Amino acid sequence: MNRRVCVAISLSVGVVLILLLTGTVSAQTPTPDEVNEVARELYCPLCPGLRVDVCYLPVCYDMREIIAEKLAAGESKEEIKQYFYELYGPKVLGAPERRGWKWLTWILPGSLALLALAGGAWWLRHRAPRAEEEVPSPDIPAEYQARLERELQRFESEV
């Protein structure tokens, strides 16, 4: 074979390999949406109540970089969340744990709301006046009663 042909073939193979390798690398690089999907479920360890996807502290920037690296390595969302849980503790998940006495934080608010609704319904039922109950009329002297009747008749005749 001619030397030029060998060089052309080796260059062609090299270009094809480079294109294939860069194609696989770019396919493994997660998109910002994929990174934010995981970051949306994590909370900043320094800012109370601020998610990692919207926080602009350096620690959250680093966390998003780590998420991208771990996604590129093929780790699942749960594995990444577990990594940050082990690194920063339960506050990074933004939700209390569901074991031990901490399960009460999941049940107690709903239970208290139901109890308050039941108590309010009971109070309304027992405090509201009933339609069948008659309101006692005050004791009005007969002369005032007669005068009231005359005034009502006069008013009705004028109208």
Task: Provide the residue range defining the domain that includes 41.
Answer: 22-93
Report the number of distinct structural domains present in the chain.
Answer: 1
Q: What is the pLDDT of residues 34-72, one digit of tens each?
A: 898 899 989 998 888 889 988 888 998 999 999 999 999
In a domain, 78, yes or no: yes
In a domain, 151, yes or no: no
In a domain, 134, yes or no: no
CA angle 37-39-42, nearest 5°?
125
In a domain, 143, yes or no: no
What one-character DSSP code corresponds to residue 94? T
Q: Rounded to the nearest 10 degrees, what angle do helices 32-39 and 77-88 cross at? A: 50
In a domain, 31, yes or no: yes
Alpha carbon distance 82, 76 (integer Å): 10
Q: Could you give the count of Cα atoms lying within 13 Å of 52 in the half-sphere of its Cβ?
A: 29
CATH of the domain at 28: 1.10.8.640
In a domain, 82, yes or no: yes
What pTM was computed for the model? Answer: 0.48
Q: What is the pLDDT of residues 102-150, one digit of tens each?
A: 667 767 888 888 999 999 888 888 876 666 666 667 788 888 888 988 9
Q: Retrieve residue 149's tokens.
A: 């009747």
Q: What pLDDT sits at residue 26?
A: 47
In a domain, 142, yes or no: no
Q: What pLDDT sits at residue 134?
A: 65
Alpha carbon distance 49, 42 (integer Å): 10
pLDDT at 9 over 60: yes
